[in-house]
Structure 1
Amino acid sequence: MALANLAHQVVAEQHRTLPQGHSMAKGLGSADETITELLDGLGIPRERVVSACLSIPAPVDAEGMISATALMPGWTGVSLATAAERALGLPVLVENDANLGALGEATWGAGRDIRNVVYLKLAAGIGAGLILNGEIFRGATGTAGEIGHTTVVENGAVCQCGNRGCLETVANAPHVIDLLTPTHGRLGIPRIVELARAGDPGCRRVLGDTGRVVGLAVANLCNLVNPQRLIVGGELSAAEDLLLRPMGESVRLNGIPAAVRSLEIVRAELGARAHVLGAVAYALAHVTPEALTATATGAATDREAVGEDGTDREAVGEDGTGPDAHDRSVAEPAPTHR
């Protein structure tokens, strides 16, 4: 959870870990408690928050409805935006985490000044955020970019989505860990990457194989949307060239030459902060003039909400983590992506 001001600076943040499969009530209750703690710590009344954005690892439609997701059972079939507004007492936007990662990187990170860019998140889940012709592309029902559920192994393992052979079943972080457990014990991704860099052949092989199978899916995506740059984020991106080099080789092998010849594959610059910065940009881009007018009126009468340097601390909430207020990457003008 992070709070940001109207200058896109994150002024406070707090990280909480919730168990996988937690209920919507528990998640929103935790968000409400965290918002209260952060605002109280800054001396800012909740009424001064002009917008909030929730980053969700699932497809989200135009009404804020979450599609079926194995990562968030119990959250589907209801309007999360409506439920969150009731629980938090704030205007709330809901967006897919990969889309927000794409927006963050396109605005302040590795996708700056690139109009056609794909952000690929490789973690427990795999998803892609598409910025096409300078705008987030969601598709008809918000499911664009669900690359983790494209089939790469015919008649492969059953995925949590019900399909067989999905990319997630052979390339997500838990699968990488499972492959190495019989020979290396139960390791986390950071340790696997560390061992691979030190020359461990098993770790290097698994990361390379993962890059190659992801490259197959990326090649198909490039054949369809022809991006200029692929930005790889998520915890597996820490492997850098150990993952990205074989991924690039696979893309060039399996893609149409004209579609992949000029593709640049790079690691995300913002890391875990891509989603929070994307959420800040998204929330502030949707603040209404009425809300800004009310905020300005409140600022004139509530001097405690203004820092000694005169920086207005109106807040935007987001479910994630972000940089501190001194990070120059978040002090740039508001983005134009919608």
Structure 2
Amino acid sequence: MVDQTLAKYLNELRILTMLRTQGPASRADIARRLGVTPATSTRLINGLIERDLLEESRGLSSKVKDELREPGRPGGRVSLNPGGAFFLGVEIGVGVIRFAVIDLIANVVDSSEISVSRELPPSAAVAAISNQLSLVEKQRKFKSKIMSVGVTVPGIVTSEGYVINLPILGWKSTDLLAELSAAIPLPCFVENNANAAAFGAVYTQPSLPSVCTIFLKLGTGCGGAAVINGRLLRGASGTAGEFGHIRLSDDGALCSCGQKGCLESWVNLGALARNYLGTDKLTESEFAALPAEVAEKASEGDEKALSALDTFSHWMSLGIVSLINLFNPSAVILGGVMRPVLERTVDQIRDGVQAGIISGIPIPEVRLSELGKFECAIGAATIAHHHAFDISRVEIHEHELQP
């Protein structure tokens, strides 16, 4: 016999996920979509309303009156209560930590960033996150409603939140999840930054086709991730998605992984600097300003800038074609600090992809991320949201859903 508590929990998750992805619905619609009795649906909805996770608009139209509802209760539309729960996302970067708070419908309601040491040790990062959480929780609307915390780092992370290698910050073999859990009295999750950005790009736009989405995050490196049927592709130990290290040639600049010819070494900030300026010996501020500068100069007809963008588009297209051949995605999303360059070259990249893929393979949509510079922090928050209130993370069988 199915455990009644488990069935109730799973059906609650189904309601919350359905309303997040499909929008408000009547009680009758919810009962039909869940395949449960009207009485069961009423109990579940009322319980979620009492917990402040759902809200119901009241209406007395003839159509609504005919819909299923609890006797004596005016009919209406049931929807998520945005302010019923919040989730904190954190991006630990180089010299900066970014924070984003999303509400129950995965809208961003707060964001901020702080400057930190470029040689930030894990303990200092955890302390900064704990302090920020305290500051957020002091705000009246967030008090006692932050449900969990997601944290991203630009390195290799296992499924258990263990940082295997984070050379850009000098971290190695760090149990970051354990340190976070010891300092923060909420569920915590640790993820690679590209994985988080990829997941956030899909999770915050449920209308997008998401059977298989590839995400590439371009900046100092080239991070990548695949989201398949709403879940991150993690591999055997959770380190899948190092798409920046697809080998495209036998020569080129030395990649951060120690090899030559990787996609990353052709399309990152260093490559853009070499192709535009002839050197990659830039300061951090010069690197930060480079994509916008190259894009602006290209719009003015500068030959070096145009050549640099052509080279970028060429290698970016080759990399995407390889990923399409491997994954057959429905969409490829491009994000990161190279946004100004991507805006100038996305049509060229699309043309290169169309010319390069195997005949007969459907051409996926190549588009830009809509999350901006907080995309990793937002993605981390969506991962926290996903673990708390999304049915797709749970392996279930139909017989478990009937109480």
* TM above 0.5: yes
Q: Where in structure 2 are the equivalents of 1:225-244 lying within 5 Å?
A: 225-244=327-346
Pairing 1:122–2:231 present: no
Counterpart in 1 of 2:83?
none
User: Secondary structure at the residue paired with 2:371?
Assistant: coil
Tell me the TM-score normalised to structure 1 length.
Answer: 0.76
Quote the Cα distance in structure 1 between the aligned partners of 2:392 and 2:349.
28
Quote the Cα distance in structure 1 between the aligned partners of 2:376 and 2:130.
19
Greater Cα shift, 114-123 or 236-245: 236-245
1:159 Cα deviation from its structure 2 partner:
1.9
Quote the Cα distance in structure 1 between the aligned partners of 2:151 and 2:224.
17
Q: Structure 1 residues 111 and 192 mapped into 2: Cα distance closer, same or farther (>3 Å)? A: farther
Quote the Cα distance in structure 2 between the aligned partners of 1:111 and 1:117.
13
Tell me the TM-score normalised to structure 2 length.
Answer: 0.64
Quote the Cα distance in structure 2 between the aligned partners of 1:198 and 1:286.
47
For residues 39-98 of structure 1, the C-alpha deviation after alignment (integer angstroms, 9 at most, x for no partner) is: 2344855x6532100022223212111232332322x31221111112334321011222
Query: Can you give the 5+ residue segments of structure 1 that lack an aligned partner in the other structure?
Result: 288-333
Counterpart in 2 of 1:206?
308
Q: Where in structure 2 are the equivalents of 1:1-338 lying within 5 Å?
A: 1-42=99-140, 48-74=145-171, 76-109=172-205, 112-182=208-278, 186=286, 188-259=290-361, 261-287=362-388, 337-338=392-393
1:110 Cα deviation from its structure 2 partner:
8.8
Quote the Cα distance in structure 1 between the aligned partners of 2:275 and 2:115.
25
Structure with more strand by fraction? 2
Quote the Cα distance in structure 1 between the aligned partners of 2:359 and 2:112.
45
Quote the Cα distance in structure 1 between the aligned partners of 2:329 and 2:319.
14
Q: Which has the higher contact order (CA 8 A, sep 6+)?
A: 1
User: Secondary structure at the residue paired with 1:188?
Assistant: helix
Q: Tell me which structure has the larger Cα radius of gyration.
A: 2
1:7 Cα deviation from its structure 2 partner:
4.1
Do 2:221 and 2:264's aligned partners in 1 also have CA atoms closer than 8 Å? yes
Do 1:213 and 1:247's aligned partners in 2 also have CA atoms closer than 8 Å? no
Do 1:127 and 1:146's aligned partners in 2 also have CA atoms closer than 8 Å? yes
Counterpart in 1 of 2:71?
none
Do 1:110 and 1:269's aligned partners in 2 also have CA atoms closer than 8 Å? no
Quote the Cα distance in structure 1 between the aligned partners of 2:260 and 2:307.
24
For residues 194-220 of structure 1, the C-alpha deviation after alignment (integer angstroms, 9 at most, x for no partner) is: 222232221122122112112112111
